[in-house]
Copies of this chain bind each other. A is one copy, B any other.
Amino acid sequence: MIATLRQRGIRVTAQRVAVAEVLANSIDHPSAQDVYERVKLHFPHITLATVYNTLNVLSEKGFVQPLHFRGGTRYDANLLPHANLICVECGRIADASVDEDGAVANLREILTKASGFQVMGQRLDFYGSCARCSGSSASQPN
């Protein structure tokens, strides 16, 4: 992890390693507050401001992708082309790999040819009901 951060030109501190590791080990797209609470478990002295500063550095250096929503920002450590499945009922965000057959690459190519836009990255959000929420007839409250 330390080497990974150095590779990206990020000055290494204990706090930054802790934040980066929380992100790398999370698949639930945590908010800054979530990251703060998780880091604090093993690093009680860190502050929310440091978490925000670190998240901004990690975002600028391409270590995570910030996803802005109405309620605030969530952070995605999955750097591969993928779709975010956002359940409008329970609020969960799951990743779905979608580029096995080059679907995203295909889209990028279409856009470049059609409008001369040089694509450098993307964010694909799909809103709907996750299997858990739409599948259960007697839906559970969460």
Count chain B CB atoms within 10 A of each CB in A117, A125, A127, A128 and give the residue with the most: A117
Residue numbers in B under 8 Å from A98 (CB-CB)? 107, 110-111
A124 pairs with B122, CB closer than 8 A: yes
Residue numbers in B under 8 Å from A73 (CB-CB)? 70
A129–B115 Cα distance when bound, in Å, is 11
A116 pairs with B131, CB closer than 8 A: yes
A122 pairs with B121, CB closer than 8 A: no
A83–B103 Cα distance when bound, in Å, is 14
Q: Is A43 an interface residue (CB 8 A)?
A: no
A113-138: CB near B (< 8 Å → 1, else 0) gives: 01111111111111111110011000
Residue numbers in B under 8 Å from A68 (CB-CB)? 68-70
Interface residues of A (CB under 8 A from B): 66, 68-70, 73, 83, 85, 87-88, 94, 96, 98, 101, 103, 106-108, 110-111, 114-131, 134-135
28 CB < 8 A contacts A-B: A83-B107, A83-B111, A85-B115, A85-B117, A88-B120, A94-B115, A94-B117, A96-B115, A96-B117, A103-B103, A103-B106, A107-B124, A107-B126, A111-B126, A116-B134, A117-B126, A118-B134, A119-B126, A119-B127, A119-B128, A120-B128, A121-B126, A121-B127, A121-B128, A122-B124, A122-B125, A122-B127, A125-B125
